[in-house]
């Protein structure tokens, strides 16, 4: 069966694909969306939502265990992993039903099957037995949004029982007594924070000199100290030689030492899903394992775009959504006006405390030859933070030394992922640090730390002692 009347055909129904489909439908385009699984992608089913649901349970457990600090007595505070998993699945199921309803209500045609390019202008829909059930021919535009999967390591053969990826870890209902985590990026750090709070003995192994490589070093150093207080062992500059499952657990061989645990999580990144996508048949070029795209998310083949993790850019759900918006907006306008600016993309790590960041770090600004000034303010000097018992952390702002334009914002502390939105908006609107200091922030709120960090850029933070001149 063939259909040649679609304005837009999308392979992949994750947060990039399904949001692009709905947005295009809002503008009257006829849209086909192809995916073998229910809509929502990794983010909804095995990524953002499941892990953040677990984080919510763990945060409540942590507060209950420390309730005496709030002058509240809770006799017993404990959590069962199986019950957390059950609640998590209820959240995912409810959201998945909501996404499917949105797709249906907006008139998007959903094809359950694997999408593959037959040519630069045709998509085949393939069922579980590798039969072609549908051919979508000559849409005005095609979007490839097939996402990514956990990267596997030959030195640590994945078995799903003892040597796990992030998908496997989410299926556990019995708490791993001794969890080793290979990789100190955002996935490894989030799971370390979750399982340590639940009672696992956690060790993080990272090959780089610090956790969260690529992020602001001040954030990374502060997080490492926080992990130490949470009894999470962090081993930096460690290279794993081999890892193997045993009857009792797993053995990890380092350069000069052997570690043993009950489980090993491999968290060394994600690999774009480009296999068996028909890229060769369509002539779509790769950049390594990822699909090569320009700032308009165009591939080298006219009419074919790619968004999300499969592009190898910032592997974040909201990046996929933003990239999809660029494609759809340009398709509607019939010209290239919208484009991606990755300096305006926030990122969050849901550890304890949370981390959120946007824009340039000091090192990145220096590499670009941009003169900067830096301001910083601790949550310990914020009344709302003290009242809530969330005094760990700080807000750090980076601005152009001459124009004052905000270039970056970095937060470690309670609700950092929510607070970063204010700095994101300021950067998007090309605001200056001075304009931030002239903005009225509600009191008492944690966001006052943003105001004070802006003031500190000028050496005028109200609630920090000013250094005496000699």
pLDDT digits (tens, 9 = 90+) for 91-124: 999 999 999 999 999 999 999 999 999 999 999 9
Given 220, 235, 268, the domain boundary residue is: 268
Q: Say which CATH number the domain at 186 has.
A: 3.50.50.60
- Asked if the structure places residue 467 within a domain, the reply is no
Are 142 and 277 part of one and the same domain?
Answer: yes
Are 290 and 252 part of one and the same domain?
Answer: no
Provide the pLDDT for residue 76: 84
Q: Which residues are catalytic?
A: 443
Percentage, residues of the chain above pLDDT 70: 98
Q: Which pTM was predicted? A: 0.95
Q: What is the mean pLDDT of residues 168-194?
A: 97
Are 170 and 318 part of one and the same domain?
Answer: no
- Asked if the structure places residue 63 within a domain, the reply is yes
300-344 per-position pLDDT tens digit: 999 999 999 999 999 999 999 999 999 999 999 999 999 999 999
Are 88 and 139 part of one and the same domain?
Answer: yes
Q: What is the mean pLDDT of residues 200-225?
A: 96
Whether the pLDDT of residue 457 is over 70: the answer is yes
- Asked if the structure places residue 275 within a domain, the reply is yes
Are 240 and 279 part of one and the same domain?
Answer: no
In 3D, which of 252, 256, 331, 323 has the Cα closest to residue 293? 323
Confidence at 155, pLDDT banded by 50, 70, 90: very high
C-alpha 128 chain-centroid distance: 30
- Asked if the structure places residue 348 within a domain, the reply is no
Are 247 and 313 part of one and the same domain?
Answer: no
Burial class (CB in 10 A: 0-12, 13-18, 19+), 218: middle
Are 43 and 142 part of one and the same domain?
Answer: yes
Confidence at 3, pLDDT banded by 50, 70, 90: low
Q: In terms of residue numbers, what domain contains 404? A: 353-456
Q: What is the mean pLDDT of residues 408-435?
A: 97
- Asked if the structure places residue 470 within a domain, the reply is no
- Asked if the structure places residue 158 within a domain, the reply is no
Are 22 and 143 part of one and the same domain?
Answer: yes
Provide the pLDDT for residue 231: 96
Provide the pLDDT for residue 78: 86
Whether the pLDDT of residue 144 is over 60: the answer is yes
Are 171 and 312 part of one and the same domain?
Answer: no
Q: What is the mean pLDDT of residues 231-240?
A: 96
Percentage, residues of the chain above pLDDT 90: 94
Provide the pLDDT for residue 466: 74
Are 112 and 25 part of one and the same domain?
Answer: yes
338-388 per-position pLDDT tens digit: 999 999 999 999 999 999 999 999 999 999 999 999 999 999 999 999 999
Are 283 and 316 part of one and the same domain?
Answer: yes
Are 90 and 171 part of one and the same domain?
Answer: no
Provide the pLDDT for residue 102: 98
Total domain count, the chain: 3
Provide the pLDDT for residue 5: 86
Question: Cα–Cα distances in Å, from 362 out to 121, 460, 463?
Answer: 45, 21, 24
34-90 per-position pLDDT tens digit: 999 999 999 999 999 999 999 999 999 999 998 888 899 888 888 899 999 999 999
Q: Say which CATH number the domain at 442 has.
A: 3.30.390.30
Distance of alpha carbon 288 from alpha carbon 301, whole angstroms: 17
Given 281, 315, 342, the domain boundary residue is: 342
């Amino acid at each position: 069966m063939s259909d040649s009347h679609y304005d837009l055909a999308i392979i992949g129904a994750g947060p990039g694909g399904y949001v692009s489909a709905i947005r295009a439908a809002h503008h009257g385009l006829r849209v086909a969306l192809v995916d073998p699984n229910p809509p929502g992608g990794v983010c909804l089913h095995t990524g953002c939502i499941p892990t953040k649901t677990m984080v919510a349970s763990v945060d409540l457990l942590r507060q209950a265990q420390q309730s005496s600090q709030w002058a509240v007595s809770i006799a017993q505070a404990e959590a069962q992993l199986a019950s957390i998993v059950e609640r998590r699945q209820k959240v995912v199921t409810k959201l998945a039903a909501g996404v499917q309803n949105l797709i249906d209500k907006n008139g998007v045609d959903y094809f359950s099957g694997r999408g593959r390019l037959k040519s630069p202008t045709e998509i085949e829909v393939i069922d579980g037995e590798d039969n072609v059930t549908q051919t979508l021919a000559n849409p005005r535009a095609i979007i490839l949004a097939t996402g990514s999967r956990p990267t596997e390591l030959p030195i640590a053969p994945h078995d799903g029982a003892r040597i796990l990826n992030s998908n496997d870890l989410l299926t556990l209902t019995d708490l791993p007594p001794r969890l080793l985590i290979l990789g100190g990026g955002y996935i490894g750090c989030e799971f370390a924070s979750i399982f340590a709070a639940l009672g696992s003995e956690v060790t993080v192994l990272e090959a780089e000199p610090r956790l969260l490589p690529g992020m602001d070093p001040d954030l990374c150093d502060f997080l490492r100290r926080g992990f130490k207080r949470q009894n999470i062992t962090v081993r930096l500059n460690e290279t794993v030689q081999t890892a193997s499952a045993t009857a009792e657990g797993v053995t990890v061989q380092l350069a000069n030492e052997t570690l043993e645990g009950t489980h090993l999580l491999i968290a060394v990144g994600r690999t774009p899903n480009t296999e068996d996508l028909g890229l060769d048949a369509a002539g779509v070029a790769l950049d390594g394992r990822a699909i090569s795209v320009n700032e308009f998310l165009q591939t080298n083949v006219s009419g074919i775009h790619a968004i999300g993790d499969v592009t190898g850019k910032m592997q974040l759900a909201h990046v996929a959504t933003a990239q999809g918006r660029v494609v759809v907006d340009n398709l509607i306008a019939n010209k290239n006006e919208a484009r991606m600016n990755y300096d305006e993309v926030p990122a969050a790590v849901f550890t304890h405390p949370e981390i959120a960041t946007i824009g340039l770090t000091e090192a990145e600004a220096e590499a670009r030859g941009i003169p900067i000034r830096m301001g910083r303010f601790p949550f310990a000097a914020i009344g709302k933070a003290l009242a809530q018992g969330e005094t760990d952390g700080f807000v750090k702002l980076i601005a152009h030394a001459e124009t004052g334009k905000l270039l970056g914002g970095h937060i470690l502390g309670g609700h950092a992922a929510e607070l970063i939105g204010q700095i994101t908006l300021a950067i998007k609107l090309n605001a200056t640090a001075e304009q931030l200091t002239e903005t009225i922030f509600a009191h008492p709120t944690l966001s006052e730390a943003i105001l004070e960090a802006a003031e500190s850029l000028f050496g005028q933070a109200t609630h920090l002692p000013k250094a005496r001149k000699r």
